Amino acid sequence: MPTNPSKDPLHGLTLEAIVIALVEHFGWEELGQRIEIKCFRIDPSVASSLKFLRKTPWARAKVEGLYLFMRREQARAAR
């Protein structure tokens, strides 16, 4: 029985992995400028960000969108 791979580019990724990848790529300061939420601007940490993002769907959607943008840019640069 063949399994169909998910077409969702975020499939299999945890929110924690997404936040860590964004911080490694942009840093907290730029991340706070791109997505203006307190958990990225004032005393940022992965734990506080995850707590907020899990409770706030609009903010999580922005973070996931920025992650997908970052991945597309990385793929373009690799070509």
Tell me the CATH number at 23.
1.10.720.30
pLDDT of residue 3: 67
pLDDT of residue 5: 77
Q: Which domain holds residue 27?
A: 15-78
pLDDT of residue 7: 84
In single-letter form, the type of residue at position 14 comes to T
Convert the pLDDT of each residue in 39-69 to its tens digit: 999 999 999 999 999 999 999 999 999 999 9
**Is residue 74 predicted with pLDDT exceeding 70?**
yes
Give the residue-averaged pLDDT of 21-42.
95
**pLDDT more than 90, % of the chain:** 84
Indicate the number of domains in the chain: 1
Burial class (CB in 10 A: 0-12, 13-18, 19+), 31: buried
Residue 50 placed within a domain: yes
